[in-house]
Chains A and B, each alone.
Chain A
């Protein structure tokens, strides 16, 4: 084990049924270092963290920790904590109705007698030494989210922590709160704590981190000094495209020529929702396929949710075919011929216990109105038509949708919206978590629909897919639109450099 390193993980393997989540991953954390762990969804970041914190047990590999002879074994989160590995999660896992001090010491008492006076005194001392603006006797819920996050860190640090893992701690914080948190991280760094920082925000990585380890598809891509890895290189490492041999793949959609004579199908100006995105402008024309791209958490979904009225719209104006339109809830958008396939199929898409048939007719039925239910025959005809059209594999139209596979569930939701014959169809990650065959089917369908005149917005984490289908891409970073690419600019390299932004743009 290296002199300076506080934690070394060597040759970690972990697989789940059907998935090799981690393959031969190495990770080294030095004392007094802030180390970013980067990778797209499914790259294996959280699996690695969970192996380290004892939530999962590794299949193979070795973990060494400073101050411990030889290999260490971590079988449970309690083991990890005892060894000085603490984790602060994205969601606050403290108890809001207890005091700050109680939260810091809960579950750690030795014996059954609690010396309250000493506890509050100790807590105040720790809070002061870390510069956290909270009192020990204060109720936790009366602190801001950032301070609560800091209390969670204080709790972790106080437990004689050598390794501190911060799993997306900044996603619910505003800019000032993030700055405060970074201040605390730098203080801890000076005290010699090794910090593993997981985030999706590139700017934050470059602001606070010393080293970056990149994972992709469960494998280690490499470990880099922050100075050696410009942003655009980082993005390409994460997405797995080497900058040099990126060929300019142009899809069939490139042949699209916009109709400039008519007003756009949908035009938004200064649109902003309460989901935390900056105001953005957007338009889409008849027969056009465009997309929002950016890393996870960059605000792609929030933009389309704002267009559909799924989130609370707080500013901006929308025009449909040039006519002003007010969309404050989904039904407004639906009545204007807009359809939205949501990102989270399970949570926002399917109505699990209802049959495939009811799931298909749901949106159209709502549009038709409360007093005009479809007859059984009509509903069956619709269901059968789309089951055949989209080749949905289901035992019957009566089968509950939750018993279908992910890809087929997605096709049912797609059928639901196609049945409403929308003028503008928004597809948010329609291909996530479904098999390759179905992915291609959906892409083909998108191109076919657009050739028939439908406007389609297509969002995918896979840039390849977007390049194949979209003729215009809106690029997002850190919840704001940072660029728009069309024509010859639609290349992997251009997308990456726009996503990366900053000094390397």
Chain B
């Protein structure tokens, strides 16, 4: 009897964990692919056009593009937790950050022979600009109490025009090899660079959460702002900062995105990426209404989203039709997390429990 109980408790612990949700989703997708076509998991080592060894395969694609999402998911999780809403301007933000990088690298000429500034300088300027735009969103949300979706709708609408304006609506192309490393491969390393960048971001946020009170403060403010204020916190400041941090994530993503093309397409770059980033947060089991969060679950959620996208591509789903499939996932997730369904599930659990107790007894 005792054994049964501990087993039941153990199971409950596993199912109760928030990170169980993205893991379960990942397993379902993996099993589906395994049955449909095991070739999905094949990884081959080849050489790219520059003659460097590179790994390729669907899993590598997931690792590559999922990393962009994972970086955004870090910031989006914090924004969601603190403000109880989402930033829908990250795609436009990436366009701006990418445009800034190219502008700094190219200087006056849009097709320079050589870089006009070191990449690190261009990146730092982009960080600054993206954080400023994050601060703009944050100020609207925290100090003017505008709902996050509405506040970020401004940049969502205007961002891509601003990005085009930064480069006088020209299409700069960077011929320097080094820029392509960030979104591609570093010579000699067969794993896509975005994965390393994402891991660096994960490491940084892990250190920040470990050595500061960012996690506790953000959750406290997201759960009960009034109580947090009476405990000496400044809820507005914390909401504001979460948007600035997301701005930083946007800049990193912008670097990866322009590096992939060594150029930019203002209207297409990072299009609809905000939806995937928000979906990653939701798939991580985080409440989109704010409060408690698990950043690792969000990061895993990001890779799961990419897993889903790649699976759909593999099955020749038109890219136009992709959002419809993702929408199904979103609907299921959101409906499952509503209080009505949760209450129902809790009641269902209670109904089942007495039976289980009897069995144990």
Identity of the chain A residue whose Cβ is nearest the Cβ of B217 in the assembled complex: A370
Q: Is B232 an interface residue (CB 8 A)?
A: yes
Say yes or no: A349-B232 contact (C-beta < 8 A), given A354-B219, A373-B213: no
Interface residues of A in 222-244 (CB under 8 A from B): none
> In the bound complex, do residue A373 and residue B211 qualify as a contact, i.e. CB atoms below 8 Å apart?
yes
CB distance from A354 to the nearest CB of B (A): 6
Other-chain residue from B211, B212, B226, B292 in contact with A348 (beta carbon distance below 8 A): B226
| Stretch from A6-14, A72-80, A118-126, A358-366 forming part of the interface with B | A358-366
Q: Is the CB of B216 within 8 A of A373?
A: yes
- A348-B226, A350-B224 are contacts. A370–B212 as well, Cβ < 8 Å? yes
A363 near B212 (CB under 8 angstroms)? no
Interface members, chain B 225-251 (any A CB < 8 Å): 226-234
Q: Is the CB of B233 within 8 A of A353?
A: no
> Do A351 and B228 touch (CB < 8 A)?
yes
| Contact status B219-A353, CB under 8 Å | yes
With the chains together, A370 CA to B213 CA distance in Å? 5
Count, A-B residue pairs, CB within 8 A? 76
Residues of A contacting B227 with CB < 8 Å?
342, 347-351
| A367 to B230 CA separation, bound complex (whole angstroms) | 12
B291–A353 CB distance below 8 A? yes
Given contacts A362-B216, A365-B216, A370-B213, contact A351 B230 (CB under 8 A): no
Known contacts A365-B213, A371-B211: A351-B220 contact under CB 8 Å: yes
B226 to chain A, nearest CB (A): 5
Answer yes or no: A84 CB below 8 A from chain B CBs. Answer: no
B191 within 8 A of A: no
Residues of B within 8 A of A366 (CB): 213, 217, 231-233
Q: Is B223 an interface residue (CB 8 A)?
A: yes
Residues of A within 8 A of B229 (CB): 310, 329-330
The answer to whether the Cβ of A331 comes within 8 Å of any Cβ in the partner chain is yes
Chain B's closest residue to A341 (CB) is: B230
B276-292 interface (Cβ within 8 A of A): 291-292
Number of B interface residues at 8 Å Cβ cutoff, please give it.
Answer: 22
Q: Interface size bucket, A side?
A: 20 to 34
- Is A352 on the interface with B (CB-CB < 8 A)? yes
The docked-state distance in angstroms from the alpha carbon of A363 to that of B229 is 10
Of all chain B residues, which has the CB nearest A344? B226
**Hey, what's the 0/1 contact readout for A321-352 against B, CB within 8 Å counting as 1?**
00000000111001000001010000111111
* Separation of A310 and B228 alpha carbons in the complex (Å): 11
B228 (CB) vs chain A CBs: closest residue: A351
- Chain B residues with Cβ under 8 A from A362's Cβ? 216, 220, 231
Closest to A358 in B: B216
User: Could you tell me the distance in whole angstroms from the C-beta of A27 to the nearest C-beta in chain B?
Assistant: 37
Residues of A contacting B224 in the complex (Cβ-Cβ under 8 angstroms): 347, 350-352
Report A365 CB to chain B, min CB distance, Å.
6
Identity of the chain A residue whose Cβ is nearest the Cβ of B219 in the assembled complex: A354
Q: Taking the nearest CB of chain B, how far is it from the CB of A183, in angstroms?
A: 37
Contact A367 B232 (CB under 8 A): yes
Instruction: Select which of A310, A353, A369 is within 8 A of B230 by beta carbon.
Output: A310
Q: Smallest Cβ distance from B157 to chain A, in angstroms?
A: 26
Taking CB as reference atom, which chain A residue is nearest B291?
A: A353
12 sampled A-B residue pairs with Cβ under 8 A = A329-B229, A342-B230, A349-B230, A351-B227, A352-B223, A352-B224, A353-B291, A365-B213, A366-B233, A369-B213, A372-B213, A373-B212
Known: A329-B232, A351-B220, A366-B232. 13 other contacts (CB 8 A): A342-B230, A347-B224, A347-B226, A348-B230, A349-B230, A352-B223, A352-B224, A354-B216, A354-B223, A358-B220, A370-B214, A370-B217, A371-B212
A interface residue numbers (CB < 8 A to B) = 308, 310, 329-331, 334, 340, 342, 347-354, 358, 362-363, 365-367, 369-373, 416
